[in-house]
Structure 1
Amino acid sequence: MDNLDYADAVLFGQRWEGKAFVGADFTEADMRGMETVNCTFTDCTFDRTDLGDSKHRASAFRSCKFDRAVLNGATFDSCTLLGSMFVECSMRPIHLTETDLTLVGWTGARVPKIDLTGARLREANLEGANLKDATLRDADLTGARLREANLTGADLRGARLDANSLVAATLTGARVDLDTAVAFAAAHGLRVG
């Protein structure tokens, strides 16, 4: 396990492979252009950290806190962000491929047009998030909290959603499959058939 104090560290462009961190502090660190491969970050703090244009492959960020972090242009490929909290972060654009977002906290996140095809967002907190025109095809949103989430124009075909989510989120112009349309009608008190 590596050093726990990386506050204000300049780690620009570094490549880390197979490192493990528990409770490490990366507050205000410069991690732009950094690459992590098969690294594990557990209960780490990324407050005001600049992760712009960083690349992460097969890395795990478990129960980490990102407060006002910069993630513009960051790429997460085959990663997990299980239980991590993102507060007032800059995430446009952020690229997520086969990344587990189970229990992630994206309250109020602004990520319109994001591609979350097939994403695992089980029990994620997306309250007040702006996911306008997002692609959520085949995404698993089971148990996700979507109160006041903006899913206007989102592609939800094949997505798994709870009835409560269909009532709580704004879905104007969203594209859905027949099963979701029937569930939406039932969630709004309509009798189908």
Structure 2
Amino acid sequence: MDQATAQDSDELTVGEDFTDQVFAGERWSGRKFVDCRFTDADLRGLVTERCEFTECDFSGADLGDSRHHGTALRTCVFSRATLAGSTLSSCTLMGSQFTDCRLRPLTITDTDLSLVSLGGADLRNTSLAGLRLREANLVSADLRGASLRGTNLAGARLNGARFEGADLREAMLDASALVAARVTGAKVDMSLAIGFARAHGLLVDLGDED
């Protein structure tokens, strides 16, 4: 089958090893994979729609310039993987782990990143606006200049994260979580600014008390 030809299948694939295989430029729709290995696979330019990957290993895989719509990548491992130039829309990556990955530039919209591990990730100038990052691990992540406007960061771990110049307006998070982060020059709304000040032990005078 030609690589550019769409491959539609509702068949469930379990425990297969696709290490080093080439799927560059293919189109997958409705395919389901559980506990499969895509280690060092060439997935560059892959297009998926409504696919499901559960507990799959993408270590060393090249997903550069790939496009994914309505696809679920749950509890998957991405170690030293490349996603630069990729696009994810209306997807879920719940519980997946990213370690030493090349992520920029990344276009990601209407996607659930709850419980995702992005510790130490380079996400500078990336738009994560409006996404769900509940209980995500962002320890030591580099989010300088990133847009997190309206992002749900409830319960996220932010120790050592860099938010210099980032847009945090309307973000949902416990302001005290930012105490251990670097936030110089970050844009915040009044509610977050007050919460942040109080988390640093300041007594905020709102002018409505004697």
TM-score bracket, normalised by the shorter chain, equals over 0.9
Counterpart CA distance in 2 for 1:148 and 1:164 is 13
SS of equivalent residue, structure 1 residue 46: coil
> Which is greater in Rg?
2
Per the alignment, residue 55 of structure 2 pairs with 43
* Alignment counterpart, residue 2 of structure 1, candidates 4, 13, 16: 13
Aligned-CA RMSD value: 0.7
State the Cα distance separating 1:163 from its structure 2 match: 3.0
Report the residue type matching 2:148 in the other structure: L
5+ long unaligned stretches in structure 2 = 1-11, 206-210
Q: Which residue of 2 aligns with 1:95?
A: 107
Pairing of 1:80-159 with structure 2 (within 5 A) = 80-159=92-171
Q: Is the 8 A contact 2:93 2:113 kept in 1?
A: yes
SS in 2 for 1:186: helix
Gaps in structure 1 of 5+ consecutive residues: none
Report the TM-score when normalising by structure 2.
0.91
| Sequence identity percentage | 52
Structure 1 ranges of 4+ moved more than 6 A:
none
Question: Is residue 68 of structure 1 aligned with residue 86 of structure 2?
Answer: no
TM-score (norm 1): 0.98
Q: Is the 8 A contact 2:176 2:196 kept in 1?
A: no
In the aligned structure 2, how far is the partner of 1:191 from the partner of 1:177? 18
What does the per-residue CA deviation read over 1:32-83, in whole Å, with 9 as the maximum and x for residues that have no partner? 0000000000000000000000000000000000000000101100000000
Taking the aligned partners of 2:169 and 2:119, their CA distance within structure 1 comes to: 23
The Cα shift of 1:5 comes to 1.4
**Structure 1 partner of 2:7:** none
Structure 2 residue aligned with 1:13: 25
Matched, 1:34 2:16: no
